Amino acid sequence: MKAVARFWIFLALLALLSPLGLLLPGYFKAGSAWGEWGADEMNGLVGYLPGGLGKLSNVWSAPIPDYAFKGWEDKSLSSLSIAYIFSAVIGMLACVGIVLLLGRLLSKNK
Amino acid sequence: MHIPDGYLGPGTCGLFYLIMLPIWTAASRMVKKTLSARQVPLLAIGAAFSFVVMMFNVPIPGGTTGHAVGGVLVAILLGPWAACIAITVALVIQALLFGDGGATAIGANCFIMAFVLPFCGYYIYKAVSRKAALGSRRRVFAAGLAGYVALNVSAGFAGFVFGIQPVLYKTANGVALYCPYGLNVALPVMLGEHLLVFGWVEAIVTALVIKYLQKHAPELLREEGCP
């Protein structure tokens, strides 16, 4: 299937372009998505941190938080863009790997 | 639309996991029944596509950001059940690896983006493109409309789930324990920003890819009972 081969190239292109999703919001001074604020932002918005939210918000610690490496919070936008592309590639590889594995289990005529 | 940890109370989180269990089971059964081994790479591409599309945050200048899901396209090409699996995989990886969407909210986020969205989009596309030729403009329109409506229905649903939290969970003094914004704020904000901006992104992405496929791989648009 030729179309499927083209899709893979298309995905690689999307990974390379993904930092747009980081740079454009920065350029247009757009903040977090609505309802996806961190604890500090929430404090600033409503004047207090809801008790349950404070407790639950740190229940899971992701290895690559917000598509950036840990400790990179203050890095420049270009470094963050590299991390973003890296995250896109890792994330897509993980998606592909898991679906192929599921596919072996689920699809008929193996 | 990725609800983080701490915005939904434990009951809401648990309920959505409970709701999703039979849906995930049914999706696995349906995919097992209908998906051929040849289509598995396409499903993998669908999951990866949805994953990366959600990384393209679109800004509302001076305001918030949002994004498309890409899931309506996957539903059109592989059916809503297969799309449910693909989007679920993307959402689980986003939550666990990247902290985008809460681990406790995976059930809720999957219900909204991996169930409501692909089913809504798929049936709108089916209804509007009924009996249309594979290369017809009506299919492109149907795809765009399906993307727009499905993303907005999902956003409305997310707004609803956010908005009922302060009613469900508060201290004795009436202070919110989880999401502090009620329906009067959450619903209009979520609906408004998606109706105005992000819905159009899903519409354009879906319609453009369908238009491309009409030209270069129309066999992918064929389904049973179609000319």
* pLDDT at position B220 over 50: yes
Domain-located, residue B2 = no
Q: In the prediction, which pLDDT does A108 show?
A: 61
Domain-located, residue B5 = no
Note whether A103 contacts B44, CB cutoff 8 Å.
yes
Q: In the prediction, which pLDDT does B3 show?
A: 97
Q: Where are the domains of chain A?
A: 76-110
Domain-located, residue B109 = yes
Q: Is B204 on the interface with A (CB under 8 A)?
A: no
What ipTM does this complex have? 0.95
Looking at the complex, report in whole angstroms how far the Cα of residue A36 sits from the nearest Cα belonging to chain B. Answer: 6
Q: Is B161 on the interface with A (CB under 8 A)?
A: no
Q: The domain spanning residue B50 has which CATH number?
A: 1.10.1760.20
Question: Could you give the percent of chain B with pLDDT greater than 90?
Answer: 93
By CA distance, what is A56's nearest residue in B?
B6
| B186: containing domain | 10-221
Q: In the prediction, which pLDDT does B34 show?
A: 87
Residues B4-25, mean pLDDT to the nearest whole number: 98
Q: In the prediction, which pLDDT does B36 show?
A: 84
Domain-located, residue B127 = yes
Chain segment A34-80, per-residue pLDDT in tens? 999 998 899 999 999 999 999 999 999 999 999 999 888 788 989 99
Q: In the prediction, which pLDDT does B225 show?
A: 42
Residues B92-108, mean pLDDT to the nearest whole number: 97
Looking at the complex, report in whole angstroms how far the Cα of residue B48 sits from the nearest Cα belonging to chain A. Answer: 5
pTM: 0.95
Angle at CA B89, nearest 5°, toward B36 and B73? 65
Find residues 9-48 of chain B whose CB sits inside 8 Å of chain A: 9-10, 28, 31-33, 35-48
Domain-located, residue B227 = no
The size of the A-B interface in CB pairs under 8 A is 230
* pLDDT at position B6 over 60: yes
Q: Is A67 on the interface with B (CB under 8 A)?
A: yes
* pLDDT at position A9 over 70: yes
Q: In the prediction, which pLDDT does B226 show?
A: 43
* pLDDT at position B181 over 90: yes
Across chain B, mean pLDDT equals: 95
**The total number of structural domains that make up chain B:** 1
